[in-house]
Amino acid sequence: MARGRRGARRLALQALYQHQLAGHGVDELLSQFAGRNEYRGIDTAYFAQLLGEILPASAELDSLISGAADRSAAQLDPVERGILWIGVMELQAHADVPSRVVIDEAIELTHEFGAQDGFRFVNAVLDTLADRLRQAERN
């Protein structure tokens, strides 16, 4: 189901972007995105889980990101912020996903949707947070 999770992350990023621009909540986003063609073939439970975890924890996630970055999370492009929200949540709450996979998936999303060199920033922030949040795995 790795392919399904990749699709879930991709769609979650789009939903998180929409949330940042329009303020839509979890239920509204789930309803809107369930009607999209891309919704078929993804891990829909993981998509819903990510949105349900990230949106209520966005202030905490922003704090972690700001502590590992050279600027506050509020100053980030909404795409990179969304990618980091997904990555940090996976590092925090999804021990079944190895930190290397979390970082690689975030880099792929950044290559697809982010600024040209945004992947370097995303990689650096997630690498720093992986060291803090997954010490046992990284040693």
On whether residue 53 sits in a domain, the answer given is yes
On whether residue 30 sits in a domain, the answer given is yes
**Domain tally, the chain:** 1
On whether residue 139 sits in a domain, the answer given is no
CA dihedral 89, 92, 98, 101 (to 10 degrees): 20
We report the CATH number of the domain holding residue 120 as 1.10.940.10
Host domain of residue 118? 2-133
On whether residue 99 sits in a domain, the answer given is yes
Query: What pTM does this model have?
Result: 0.95
3-state DSSP of 29-84: HHHHHHCCHHHCCCCHHHHHHHHHHHHHHHHHHHHHHHHHCCCCHHHCCHHHHHHH
* Closest alpha carbon to 125 in 81, 74, 95, 60: 81
pLDDT, tens only, 30-77: 999 999 998 988 999 999 999 999 999 999 999 999 999 999 999 999
Q: Any residues with CB less than 8 A from the CB of 132 and at least 6 apart, and which?
A: 68
pLDDT, tens only, 19-42: 999 999 999 999 999 999 989 889
Distance CA 77, CA 8 (A): 21
On whether residue 138 sits in a domain, the answer given is no
On whether residue 29 sits in a domain, the answer given is yes
